[in-house]
A and B are shown apart, each in its own frame.
Chain A
Amino acid sequence: MSKVNADLSELAQTAQEITVAVNSVSETKTSLMRKYQQLGVGWKDKRYEELGDIIRECVRALNDIQKNLLQSNKFILGLIKSIQEYENVNISEGNESDSSFMQRLRNGVSSLAGGERYQYCLGVLTKGHVPSDYIEIIRSRHDNADPTARRVFDGFVDKLMIQNADYPECETAHYSPISYPGHSRGVYYNAEADATNPRGAGATYFHELGHMIDHASSDFHENMSNNIDFGRALIEDGQNVLSTFNNMTSERRNNFLSVIRQDAAHSFSDLIDATTNGQLHGSYGHSRGYWQRSGNLQAEAFAHFFEASMGGGWKLQLLSNMFPTAFAMFREMLESIQPEERTRVLER
């Protein structure tokens, strides 16, 4: 018998119906545009253009509806999770130890119709399978994180979402800042692969969530990192490294290159490649085209600095010493973030 005035199966049914509605809206938009384009064969006058304006207005309205539905679904799923946690509490029997009780809360799993699996990892709602030994890895990194970075992470967990922790290994992990039909805003990555990431176990998790925190800090309007001064500081720091490198002896230059070619130096390699236009680098980087997008240098720096700050070990020392001015600005950004205070009934 349910202990709360909410029916879990009804909520699950509602979540399922919302998913159906979202897909239906998506199909409607596609159908409208397709039919409009079909009509355009042999009909291209002013009336056709006017019809196009109306169609586009309809599609915009449908986009708003879809956005609201997706947002509602997220809250419903969160409510389902909270109710399940609540119903698992059994004070009267008292046979359970504290540690197994908290462990179940932290690793609580909710299954919905259709077999979708949700759980909370470090307080972040996560869709998909996350191996328990991997959870221990990211928990350990979280516990050993820089206190300010950890405070920011903990403050934002309610706004973060892993949309797919089973993202195919043949697809690149990423943060999608915008929701598309079938691809909501959030992080897509493969947790199992991240457990053996050559760049450091858990690196992708904290890097991609770093991108999401950057975006969430302005309520998903724009990236906090996207400012000219931060970009300028990154380039100046990078040029200082290049200049210092060029003044080293040949032997030291060769040794230095060997050090930064290591997988663990991936984030430094990426940023120095970007800020020296390829004159200095290790084995990792983004494409030239990626750096041409305005704000991407700052976004990647934010995500790399954040990942290093979340128990990244040697990486933190490397980045903070090589990019001191930019790193100090990153620290100021973190310190300026005051996530909304929330009262938590249950620790996640």
Chain B
Amino acid sequence: MELKDFMNSLADTPVPKQDAEYVELEKQYEEKFGHIVPREMLPPSIKIDDIKKAMIDCIESGNGDILKVLNVEINDKYFY
């Protein structure tokens, strides 16, 4: 299937319910810091509500280092 057709077929599927608050916070976070939350690097203990709180903290403080706010340590030598 051509890429355009495949993407259109995805776009035409019923839209799943979104967490509107999360989406809005993510937009604000991205506008302020230029990137999204690196959720692929977060541990399983961190839930959606934790991320929302952390995004609010970052937006209000102006500090975009959300990994630090969430106390997540990353090692440059590992693959995540």
Q: Contact residues of A with B, CB < 8 Å?
A: 168-178, 190, 193-194, 197, 208, 211, 240-241, 244-245, 247-248, 252-253, 255-256, 258-262, 266, 270, 273, 278, 281, 283-288, 290, 293, 296, 299-300, 303, 318, 321-322, 324
Contacts and interface: CB of A to CB of B under 8 A. Distances in A.
A46 to B, nearest CB: 33
A293 B36 contact: no
Contacts of A248: 7-8, 11
Contacts of B11: 248, 252-253, 255-256, 259
Given A244-B7, A286-B40, 7 more contacts: A168-B43, A172-B43, A194-B44, A241-B3, A283-B22, A285-B37, A287-B41
**Residue with the highest number of chain A CB atoms closer than 10 Å, among B3, B42, B73, B76:** B3
B30 to A, nearest CB: 8
Interface residues of B, number: 40
Contact of A270 (B8, B40, B42): B40
Contacts of B26: 283
A259 B78 contact: no
Given A259-B10, A262-B16, A172 B41 contact: yes
A287 B13 CA distance: 30
Contact of B12 (A193, A245, A252, A324): A252
Given A244-B3, A255-B11, A321-B6, A169 B44 contact: yes
Contacts of A273: 36
A141 B43 CA distance: 23
A171 B38 contact: no
Contact of A174 (B8, B10, B30, B78): B78
Contact of A258 (B16, B72, B79, B80): B16
A168 B80 CA distance: 15
A324 B74 CA distance: 31
A177 B79 contact: yes
Contacts of B36: 273, 278, 281, 283, 285
B43 A278 contact: no
Q: Which of B18, B38, B39, B40 is the most central at the interface, judged by chain A CB atoms within 10 Å of its CB?
A: B40
A266 B80 CA distance: 13
